[in-house]
Amino acid sequence: MASAGGKTSKFHGRVESDRHCSHAGCTEHGEFRAPPAGGRRPGFDGPGEWRWLCLDHVRAFNSGYNYFNGMSPEEIEAAQTPYGGWERETRAFSANGSPPPRWADFTDPLDAIGARFRHAPPGPAPRNDGRELSPADRKNLDLLGLGPDIDRRALRLRYAELVRRYHPDRNGGDRSYEKALQAVIRAYTELKGRPAFA
């Protein structure tokens, strides 16, 4: 495919312009962007300064370019690991229980994202006394077979009942309920220290 100037535009990154190649003594057009040699690099303050090179000089630049130049062996190894960049902690995304919107129903993607969260289902019901329960607290209450509005006394009674039910001494030495007993003890231990049950 030929451009208006007669040159083929099959090269990725070609920007036709009247700039001259920044290589000393070259009179060709500088149509390919290359990092600066000591100039301001792209960053927070903006796009930085670029050198513009002709096709021959950008090929020469690319053949001699070394991404790892100036890095220590440890930095090179870290950059080459398959997990490079994944060690940073990222925000978890939640489906919020609602199906994603159909993108075809919206002309603006931001409208589709807003629609998804506008119709999110309400969270779990609060306690009657207004005390907060974390998701872990609710999970532990479910494990014990209790609702969110129980008090400390009811929690202790249910714990005692389940310990009697699952303890090997009450089951003729049968240890098959040992995991259930450990889960009950762990759930009760976590719940009894929570402010909702103080």
User: Hey, CA dihedral for 176, 180, 184, 190, is it positive or negative?
Assistant: positive
CATH of 135-197, one of 1.10.150, 2.40.50, 1.10.1450, 1.10.287: 1.10.287
Does the global pTM surpass 0.75? Answer: no
Task: Specify which residues 34 forms β-bridges with.
Answer: 51
For the chain, give every domain's residue range.
Answer: 10-71, 135-197
Integer Cα distance of 116 and 95 in angstroms: 9
105 burial (CB, 10 Å; 0-12 / 13-18 / 19+) is exposed
User: Are 143 and 149 spatial neighbours (Cβ–Cβ below 8 Å)?
Assistant: no
Q: Which of 62-66, 112-116, 156-160 has the lowest mean pLDDT?
A: 112-116
Highest mean pLDDT among 10-14, 35-39, 88-92: 10-14
Could you give the C-alpha distances from 29 to 4, 59, 179, 181, in angstroms and in order? 14, 14, 75, 78
pLDDT tens profile 28-58: 888 888 877 665 666 666 666 788 889 899 8
Determine the pLDDT at residue 2: 44
What share of the chain has pLDDT > 90, as a percent? 17
Residue of 80, 33, 27, 75 whose CA lies nearest to 52 = 33
Residue 191, burial from CB neighbour count under 10 angstroms (0-12, 13-18, 19+): buried
Chain CA centroid to CA 69, Å? 30
Output the six-digit token pair for 45.
């303050």
